Amino acid sequence: MQASPADSATLPPQQSQPDKLARAGDSPRGRDGIPWWLWVLVGALFFTYMTLSLRIHQRLLSNAFDLGIFEQVIRSYADGHLPVSEVKGPDYPVLGDHFHPVLALVAPFYRLWPSPQVLLVVQAALIAASVLPLALWARRALGSGAAAVIGTCYGLSWGLANAAGFDFHEVAFAVPLLACSLAALGSDRLRAAAFWALPLLLVKEDLGLTVAVIGFLIARRGDRKLGIATAAAGLVGTALAMLVILPAFNPQGSYAYTHWLTGPEGGAESGPLDLLYKATIGLITPEAKVTTLLFLLAPTLFLALRSPLLWVALPTLAWRFASGLWTHWGTSYHYSVVLMPIVFAAFIDALIRRQSSTVSLRRYLVGSAAITALLLPQFPLWQLAKPETWRTDPRIAVAHKLMDRIPDGATVQASNQLVPQLTDRTSASLYGWADSRPDPEWIMVDTEVPQQRRWPLSPGEERISLDHALTQGYRTAAEQDGFVLLTRSG
C-alpha cells in the first residue's frame, strides 16, 4: 500500500518511493535476496573483464609498470616476506613506495597458481563483485528494471574498462569496498557504511581521505559519534601512512610522491603562486581535466551532481588534478576506477531523492544506457569486438621460445612488455631503466616494439645500449624476428 504524505515525510527516501516504481515479481522476500539475473550479469562482466585482461597479457601487451611490479609484490608475500620489487630497483621495499598491505590477500591464490594471470583474474572478480551492492540497492529502491540498467551501465563504464584493460592495480580492492559502503550509506545503514569504508586504509595511502569524507557523510546522516570516529580514522590512517610508514621503508626516508604536487613533472619545486594556481584554476586546466569530469558525469546525465555521495570523489579528483603528472588528468589508465562506484552510487541516490514518476525514471535510464553505449567503443572493452584481438602474432611464440632459454631464478633485464612474462620465475627488471639491477645474467630486448609503445628507450638509444653491452662481456645467445637475447653465461 502506498505511504500517505505524512508517512512519506518521515521515511528514508528509498522507502517513500511510489509503488509504481516496483516491478512485477518483486516480492518482499525476493527483493531481499540476489535474483538469478543479477548473478548472470555479474558472471558475464567477470568473464568479460578477465578475458580482456588475459588476452592483453597473452599478446605481450602488459607492462613492467605495473603488472610486473605487482606480481613481484605478491610473489614476495607468497614466499613469506615483506614485498620487494626488482622492477622498482634491486630489492626495493615496496612498502616505501605505496601502502597497500591488502595485497597479501592475493598470496594464497598465487601459491596455488604462481602466474601474473592470477592477479588479472582476481582483479576481474573484484571489479565484477562491485556491481552487486549497487544493483541490489537500486533494486530495493527503484525496482528490478532500473537495477538491471544501472548495473549494466556501471559494469560497462569506461573507468572499470580501463582498469581491466591496463595491467593490475591495488585499487581494484577499493572498488567493491566503496560500492558496499556507499550502498549502505545511501540506505541509512550507517554502521555498515563505516565497516566497509575502514578497510580502504589498507588499500592505498590516499584513500584515508576518502574514508574521512564518508565519515563526514555518516555524521551528516545523523550518527555524529560514528561519523567523527570514521573521519578521524581516515585522516590518521593517511597521515600515518604518508608521514611514518612509507618514509620508514623508503630508501630516501621520505614519501616518494610529494613531487607530483610540489612541482611540475621534471621541473623545479613550486613556489606559493604555483601552488595557489594548482589549487584553483589548475584544478580545471588543461582541458583534459574538464573532459574527465564530463566523461565521469555524463553516464548519469549529470544527475549525480544532486547527491551528497558525490563528495566522496573529491579527494581523488583533487590529488589527480593538482598533480603535475599529465597521466593523472585524463581518462586513460586505471586512475578513474575508484570514481565509478562513487558516481553511480550518487546516481542511484539522486534518482531515489527525486521520487520520479515511472516515465521520468525510464527517461533517465534510457539516457544513461545510450551514453554508456556511445562511450563503449572508445575504451578497452571494445577490443573484444576487434578481429585483431583474437589473432596471435607468430612473434609471440618466438618470444616465449627465447625466454624459455633463461633459467629459473636468473637475473634478467628485459623490454617493458617482456618483463611480466618473466616475473613469475626470474629476478626481472626493466631494460633501460636507470634504477634496474646492473649487470644482469641475461638481457632480452624486443627491437620491433611499435614507436607508441616504446619505453623507456628510443630505438636509437636501445641500439647503442645493446652494442655497449656486447663490449662489456655479453654475447648474443639468440636473435630472431626482432628479439635479441644476450647472456654473460658460458
Which is nearest to 220 in space by CA: 311, 351, 356, 141? Answer: 311
> Of 32-46, 131-145, 255-269, where does mean pLDDT reach its minimum?
255-269
The more confident residue out of 133 and 15 is 133
Look at residues 390, 446, 441 and name the one whose alpha carbon lies nearest to residue 414.
Answer: 446
Task: Tell which residue, 156, 155, 221, has the closest CA to residue 188.
Answer: 221
pLDDT of the residue at 15: 41
Which range (13-27, 223-237, 360-374, 390-404) has the least confidence?
A: 13-27
| 127 contacts 49 by C-beta, under 8 angstroms | yes
Mean pLDDT of the chain: 91
Q: Please write the tens of the pLDDT for every residue from 185-242.
A: 999 999 999 999 999 999 999 999 999 999 999 999 999 999 999 999 999 999 999 9
What pLDDT sits at residue 27? 41
Instruction: Please give the Cα distance from 290 to 297 (Å, whole number).
Output: 11
Q: What is the dihedral of CA 132, 137, 143, 144, to 10 degrees?
A: 0
Are 115 and 57 spatial neighbours (Cβ–Cβ below 8 Å)? Answer: no
Does residue 325 register a pLDDT over 80?
Answer: yes
pLDDT for residue 263: 57
Question: How many residues are present in the chain?
Answer: 490
Query: Which of 97-101, 151-155, 169-173, 326-330 bottoms out in mean pLDDT, i.e. has the lowest?
Result: 326-330
The DSSP bridge partners found for residue 413 are: 429, 443
Q: Tell me the pLDDT band of 270, cut-offs 50, 70 and 90.
A: low
Q: Which three cell numbers stand for residue 141?
A: 529502491
Residues 6 or more apart in contact with residue 259 via CB below 8 angstroms: 324
CA distance readout (Å), 366 to 300, 355, 373: 10, 17, 11
Handedness of CA 437, 441, 447, 450 (dihedral sign): negative
Grid cell 628510443 is found at: 458
Distance from C-alpha of 446 to C-alpha of 426, rounded to nearest angstrom: 18
Least confident of 74-78, 176-180, 320-324: 320-324
> Given pLDDT bands bounded at 50, 70 and 90, which one contains residue 446?
very high
Whether 208 contacts 237, CB under 8 Å: yes
* CA–CA dist 132, 139 (Å, integer): 10
**442 beta partners:** 412, 487
Cell of 462: 636501445
